[in-house]
Copies of this chain bind each other. A is one copy, B any other.
Amino acid sequence: MLSNSTSTMLKKLTQKKYRKEFGVFTVEGKKGVEEALEHAEVELLIVEESAIDADMGVIISYAEKTGIPVERANKRDVDAIKQTETFPGVMAVVAMPDASLDNMIHEEHIILLDRVNDPGNLGTIIRTADWFGVHAVIVSEGSVDPYNEKVVRSTMGSIFRTKIYQSEYMVDTVEFLRKNGYSIATLDLSGKDISQLRKGRKQALLFGSESHGLADNLREITDASYTIAGTGNAESLNLAMSVGITLYQLNS
């Protein structure tokens, strides 16, 4: 069974403020935990005793060999700590990677998101960016926490390969990127056709919120805007879809 201190910590980690305070987040499930072991710094592994099978045995012995503490949870522990209806038997506590802004500016391509609030959208954006080789994402104040368990789950492991910076004042962040040589492109309904978007050096792609669009003070400091042409029937594309199509175009 879990120690009291672990149980208390895991309950706290369901809240953003404690994730931030401790600098760690959790990931559930074999696939996610394996990705974390491979690409991130795992601080603690939790396994449900009754769920240990051959795959989990491999995970546990890997953890033990590399000096990662492993705690065993019983049914009652699991009910107290699980973040999904059905606990998938294994959970890792993972250190948040270094995500200072200074650390971002060696990346050729950065995605910036103004007030993204749907966890599934943010997770899908991180997963799609990883697919297209973009590993730097900046989210503005007022966005969903990137280390929220729904976001983590929908990244399908890509969160461990992505630098994520949570900006407190997005206008300053964009200005900092511009001073460091980035061009800032955005999407709107009256931009150039997106087929004209070409891959260049140091490009930042800035997207407004699905519900509120892009804030005016951010729009003013962009260098170019593009439009994904549609038939005009549907009112808009889903935010993650807009980001994905932009990244596809950038890579084509």
Hey, which bits of chain A sit against chain B, CB under 8 A? Answer: 120, 124, 127-128, 130-133, 156-158, 161, 195, 228-231, 233-238, 240-241, 244-245, 248-249, 251-252
Contacts and interface: CB of A to CB of B under 8 A. Distances in A.
Contacts of A234: 127-128, 130-131, 156-158, 161
Contacts of A241: 124, 128, 240-241, 244
Given A248-B228, A251-B229, A131 B237 contact: yes
Contacts of A248: 228, 245, 248-249
A230 B132 contact: yes
Given A245-B244, A245-B248, A252-B195, A133 B231 contact: yes
Contacts of A127: 234, 237-238
Given A131-B233, A238-B240, 4 more contacts: A120-B120, A131-B234, A131-B236, A156-B236
27 contacts: A120-B120, A124-B238, A124-B241, A127-B237, A128-B237, A130-B231, A131-B230, A131-B234, A131-B236, A131-B237, A132-B231, A133-B230, A133-B231, A133-B233, A157-B234, A158-B233, A161-B233, A161-B234, A195-B252, A228-B248, A229-B251, A238-B240, A241-B244, A244-B244, A244-B245, A245-B245, A245-B248
A93 to B, nearest CB: 23
A163 B249 CA distance: 29
Contacts of A240: 238, 241
Contacts of A228: 131, 248
Nearest to A241: B244
A161 B230 CA distance: 15
Contacts of A231: 130-133
Nearest to A39: B233
A127 B252 CA distance: 24
